[in-house]
Amino acid sequence: MITKEDFEKAEKVINDYKVQLNKALVISRICVCCRTKKIEPLEGMGLAEGQIKATEQEQGCWNHGTVEKVTFGYGSRNDMRGFYIAICDDCIEQLEKDGLAVDIKMLRKEERKYGL
């Protein structure tokens, strides 16, 4: 017969395993633009507690940039594929300055200007 104590011990082993697995899968990434700067998981983002899963890592905070999920839809050669990509703070600022990245807050401001 399994006791409550046995169950709790087994549950702790499982949870510890999940935490270790996620720590191994949610890793630092290199910026896709400059290919030099390292974007690292942020301390306290829930990784140590097992709250962040490898397939949910775009929802966490990252040091020196961000890691986001990019998915492709119909019309792309990569239809039905998804990737995690990292971009450093410096590169996103340069892309915005060059007009290659659009600030969503600015788009919302423009929409409000036209009554949308």
Q: pLDDT digits over 47-87, tens only?
A: 666 666 777 776 667 899 999 889 999 999 999 999 989 99
For the chain, the average pLDDT equals 88
Whole-model pTM: value is: 0.73
What H or E segment, with its residue span, contains residue 6? helix 4-25
Q: Kindly report the CA angle at 51 between 56 and 27, in degrees rounded to 5?
A: 55
